[in-house]
Structure formats: structure tokens, C-alpha cells
Amino acid sequence: MSNLFSVKDKVVLITGGYGILGKSMVHHFAAEGAKVVVLGRNAEAGEALVADVKSKGNYALFVKCDVVNREMLDQAYDVIMKHFGRIDVLINGAGGNMPGATIPPDKTIFDLDVDALKSVVDLNLFGTILPTIVFSKAMAEQKEGVIINVSSESSIRPLSRVCGYGVAKSAVNNFTQYMAGELALKFGSGLRVNAIAPGFFLTEQNRTLLTNPDGSYTDRAKTIIAHTPFRRFGEPQELLGTLQWLASDASKFVTGTLTVIDGGFDAFSI
Ligand SMILES: NC(=O)c1ccc[n+]([C@@H]2O[C@H](COP(=O)([O-])OP(=O)(O)OC[C@H]3O[C@@H](n4cnc5c(N)ncnc54)[C@H](O)[C@@H]3O)[C@@H](O)[C@H]2O)c1
């Protein structure tokens, strides 16, 4: 039987590819034989990751790109199409909370920096919408392709303090469903759009919320773990099986879904 889960030779774009979760996705898909394109703003970090992937005998290419900059996205599209002539998978991984858009414990919604909130919405929502519009053009022409949006637990039930982040990720879920319908109806059932909702993973964008300067867990981190039946944070590699399933023919009839990967956080009350 052929390998239903194969992603070999697929052109897989990963935005935010040198972030903590992104990096693990890049190494995984490259090791699975995909042609991985790392998209990000920092050429030094991107090229270092590509060199690391190549040192393991696998393939990756870095293309400089800011996910909220349409002009850069269009340029990246041209570079990628010139290189590979097609795009099979887009993982919209760039995103995260921003410290300025977080309401500290001693403040309220009335103290919120609305401009910071707009920036976090811009990154998480428009940083998903714009790459989707730009890169799915190739998928529409090919009549096949897969988009996977990285949403969050905060899209399902609001988490305290991160108002803008939750609002944006919630809209990402709605956009995922919208695009699933839009692309399939107009370009056929070879186009699929799904999202994952990771629970809690210790990364750069949430480090100040979850850890103190000495590395110990904050009260918020302890509360999260107490509310998680697995009693721990996730490890980046625990997203990979779901991503491979969604990226491959193994999920051929799956579109418009949100898969929760959270050690039971969302299923649990007391
Ligand atoms: N860490 C968690 O617990 C968690 C939980 C749920 C969802 N997520 C989501 O996972 C994704 C990856 O985040 P992470 O936790 O690995 O954080 P991270 O900070 O390690 O990575 C985020 C990446 O996005 C990139 N990025 C930010 N703005 C960008 C822009 N304008 N253009 C291009 N790239 C940009 C950053 O440079 C970085 O590489 C994000 O969408 C985040 O919201 C994370």
C-alpha cells in the first residue's frame, strides 16, 4: 500500500519557520522529504536554520518575507514559483502574543493600549489572511493544495490578559472555515484548509507570561498546568503528527476543521 501520509517532494511553505514551533516543523517536513520553504523577516535566523537542515542531508530554502507586507509576500511568491513552479502546502505559523498587548494583573481593559491590540490582530489575523491569499493562487491554478493555520487554545475560550491575541485567533478559525468553502467551491475538492489549536508550549512569544526572569514558572503557568490533565506543557514535536496528517492525502476529505492539541486542557473543567 502507498504511504497515505507521504509529503515527499511536496513544496511546503512555513511562515514563522525559525520560531520555536516553526523550527520543529521545518526539520520534520524536510526529514520527510519535502522541499521546505522557510518564510520570515530575519535573514540571518532563516539562513542559519536552512544551513542546519542541509547539514542533516535535507532540503530547505529561506525566503525573506514579512507576513503583513503584501509587497514582500508577492515578491516571495515570485521567487518560490520561479524555484519550484508550484506550492503544495502552506503552514501559517507566524504569529503570537505581544507583551504590549497584554493586560497586566493590576490593570484592566480600560488601560489597554489599543494600538498594541491592533498590532497583535494585524500579525495573527492579517498575517494569516494575506499569505493565504497570495500563496493559494498557485493552489487554485494547480487545483490542489493544503493550507494549515496555526490557531490557539485562546480562540476557543478567551484566556485572561491576552484579549487581542484571542480575538485574532478566533477570527483565524472563522477564516479557516470560510476559505475551506471558498476554495473547494470555486477550485475543487483538491484544495483543503484546516487549522490546529495548540495548547500551551513554552516559546519566545509567551516566555514573559509563563516564566519569571530566573526561569521558574509564573502563577499563570502553574494555573495552566493545574488545568491540564497531562500536567505539563506541550513539546513542539507533539504537533508534527497532526500536521503531517493534515498536509498529506491521509486527510483527503478533511477541510474546515480545527484540531486541538493540548494535553486535555480544553476538555477539562475540574
Ligand atoms: N507557544 C504556544 O503555546 C502556542 C500556542 C498556540 C498557538 N501558538 C501559535 O504558534 C505559532 C508559532 O509561535 P511560537 O509559539 O513558536 O512563537 P515564536 O515566537 O517562537 O515564533 C513566532 C515566529 O513568527 C515570526 N514572526 C512574527 N512576526 C512576523 C512577521 N510579521 N512576519 C514573518 N514572521 C513573523 C517570528 O519571527 C517567529 O519566528 C504562532 O502563530 C502562535 O500564535 C503558540
Q: What is the pLDDT of residues 31-64, one digit of tens each?
A: 999 999 999 999 999 999 999 999 999 999 999 9
Spatial distance between the Cα atoms of 182 and 154, rounded to a whole number of angstroms: 25
Chain position carrying cell 508534527: 240
- Indicate which residues carry an active-site annotation: 165
Does residue 1 have a pLDDT over 60? no
Average pLDDT score over the chain? 97
CA angle at residue 45 from 74 to 42, to 5 degrees? 40
Query: What are the residue ranges spanned by the domains of the chain?
Result: 11-263
Fold of 11-263: Rossmann fold (3.40.50)
Spatial distance between the Cα atoms of 232 and 238, rounded to a whole number of angstroms: 12
Spatial distance between the Cα atoms of 24 and 29, rounded to a whole number of angstroms: 9
Ligand 1 proximity of 166 Cβ (cutoff 6 Å): no
97: CA distance to ligand 1 center in Å? 8
Q: Nearest-CA neighbor of 161 among 217, 234, 219, 202? A: 219
Check residue 23 and give its pLDDT: 97
pTM greater than 0.75? yes
Check residue 185 and give its pLDDT: 98
State pLDDT tens for residues 60-93.
999 999 999 999 999 999 999 999 999 999 999 9
Spatial distance between the Cα atoms of 130 and 124, rounded to a whole number of angstroms: 11
Ligand 1 proximity of 150 Cβ (cutoff 6 Å): yes
Spatial distance between the Cα atoms of 238 and 25, rounded to a whole number of angstroms: 10
188's enclosing H/E stretch is none
Spatial distance between the Cα atoms of 224 and 242, rounded to a whole number of angstroms: 22
**Sheet-wide strand order for 191-198:** 60-64, 35-40, 11-15, 89-92, 145-150, 191-198, 258-261
185: CA distance to ligand 1 center in Å? 31
Q: Tell me the β-bridge partners of 146.
A: 89, 192
53: CA distance to ligand 1 center in Å? 20
Spatial distance between the Cα atoms of 259 and 44, rounded to a whole number of angstroms: 33
Going by pLDDT thresholds of 50, 70 and 90, the confidence category of residue 100 is: confident
19: CA distance to ligand 1 center in Å? 6
Mutate to test the pocket of ligand 1, among 18, 20, 21 (most ligand atoms within 8 A of CB): 21
For the CA of 153, the closest atom of ligand 1 is 6
Q: Nearest-CA neighbor of 58 among 42, 38, 78? A: 38
For the CA of 23, the closest atom of ligand 1 is 16
Ligand 1 proximity of 145 Cβ (cutoff 6 Å): no
Check residue 237 and give its pLDDT: 97
For the CA of 22, the closest atom of ligand 1 is 16
